[in-house]
Structure 1
Amino acid sequence: MRLLLAEDDPLLGELIVHMLKKKAGYTVEWVTDGEDAYDYAAASIYDVLILDWMMPGRSGTDVCRELRKDGYRGAVLMLTAKDTLQDRVEGLDAGADDYLVKPFEIDELLARLRALSRRNFAPIQDDTVRLGRYVVHRTNQTVHLGGERIQLSPREFQLLDLLLQNKGMVLAREVILDRIWGLDADVNLKTIDATVKLLRKKLGSSEQDGLIQSVRGVGYKLEHS
């Protein structure tokens, strides 16, 4: 999961970044003011924005409201020490999808991030994507090679599409497990390796051709023009 954290408290920000990376293997970019939060969110793609309510430059609610006004459709989680009903209503009316009151436990933050990521706020960017010799149709979840359809299971397609959407980035096995099966699913990390092996076989690919690369001790990445 790729996250943007906007938090001006250096100790809290450093702790959140460390725990998100260590416990979940997430990719986290951290900014400390509202102006940077808006610029980063507008210029890149994140699974979830984590916005502190009170920040220099712009407040988290101002950033969220402006992004929504500009058509931003990604998930937004608001962090705040404010806990009155009026405050919660203000945050949600600004466009936040969820609300977490400080102080909080990291496990609750992780659970809320997983729930938001499963809701899949991001619109489909391309109905059809070319991947070297392959044509990937996201809407009907099919892959074609030379006009012939390659029969993939739903999990295999989800894995391919996840790697495709994060092309060039190394995805940890834990991240893949969370995004496709869910961390609470009764599967282990070996299931991911087996699914990759089957996906390569069906695509007529191998580790040597570099389509789906193994990163020893970490996970996988997709590298292809």
Structure 2
Amino acid sequence: MKKPWDPKGIIEKFEAHRNEAQAGPMEAYMKHHFPFLGIKSPLRKELMREQFAEYDLPVPDELFNEAWKLYNLPEREYQYAAIVLIEKMRKHLTIDDYSILREFIETKAWWDSVDSIAPTFVGHIVKKDRALGERMMWEWANADNLWVNRSAILHQLKYKAETDTDLLFKMIRRHADSQEFFIQKAIGWALREYAKTNPHAVKTFAQENTLKPLSRREALKHIGNN
């Protein structure tokens, strides 16, 4: 019989595997934005599997409260753990969750957390109401936070044939002149991914619109520019 959900289970497991020798290189890779415990991805995933085998999931109404208990801890592995918890309960996310997902995006923001939250969670709830989703994502695309902008650009990353091409291209045009590396990269990534579904549309868009060199290079990486 499983125990009631308790984030202390994760904390105890992670602390037992703290590895200072590995933490240093991991912190350097993330430009020293965050401290690390030094737990690499394979072990972290195994420890999370142990947690879910040992403990029941929290009740849906408590999901975000429980996720914040992990997300607000200093070491980066705890933000990853919180995201895994939300992923485990993704089916419970609703269109009422835009604001709280934006809080997660803006808190301790960097590409690794944002790129886990935006396509997987935000993209999931946009599909529940595409009209509302388009309004929300356009609002995000015009926000003053570059990570919220990046999230809007990337929210359709996994949509394939369900991509709202007009919305994608509109957002990219909105940010095509951005000097931000992470925006330029997001534009290229979004286009490159959509090119797997509709290479002609991406190639035509790239030919007819001015993109930063990084964005263009990433967009056309697998389809060429001719």
Q: TM-score range by the shorter chain?
A: under 0.3
Taking structure 2 as the reference length, what is the TM-score of the superposition?
A: 0.27
Taking structure 1 as the reference length, what is the TM-score of the superposition?
A: 0.27
**Bigger proportion of residues as helix:** 2
**Bigger proportion of residues as strand:** 1
Higher relative contact order, structure no. (Cα contacts within 8 Å, ≥ 6 residues apart): 1
